[in-house]
A and B are shown apart, each in its own frame.
Chain A
Amino acid sequence: AQTVTQSQPEMSVQEAETVTLSCTYDTSENNYYLFWYKQPPSRQMILVIRQEAYKQQNATENRFSVNFQKAAKSFSLKISDSQLGDTAMYFCAFMNLSQGAQKLVFGQGTRLTINP
Chain B
Amino acid sequence: EAQVTQNPRYLITVTGKKLTVTCSQNMNHEYMSWYRQDPGLGLRQIYYSMNVEVTDKGDVPEGYKVSRKEKRNFPLILESPSPNQTSLYFCASSLRGLSSYNSPLHFGNGTRLTVT
Instruction: Give the B-binding residues of A (Cβ under 8 A).
Output: 4, 6, 33, 42-47, 50, 91, 93, 95, 97, 101-109
Contact = CB atoms under 8 A, between A and B. Distances in A.
Contact of A103 (B41, B58, B88, B90): B58
Given A91-B42, A97-B99, A107-B42, A102 B31 contact: yes
B99 A103 contact: no
Interface of A is mostly: loop
B98 interface: yes
B42 A104 contact: no
Contacts of A44: 107, 109-110
A27 B95 CA distance: 26
Interface string B14-43: 000000000000000001010100001111
Nearest to B45: A103
A104 B45 contact: yes
Contacts of A102: 31, 33, 48, 50, 56, 97-99
A45 B90 CA distance: 9
Interface string B35-76: 100001111110010100000101100000000000000000
B83 interface: no
Contacts of B8: none
A104 B105 contact: yes
Nearest to A9: B40
Contact of A33 (B42, B43, B98): B98
Given A45-B92, A101-B56, 11 more contacts: A43-B88, A44-B110, A45-B105, A45-B107, A102-B33, A103-B45, A103-B59, A104-B33, A107-B42, A108-B40, A108-B41
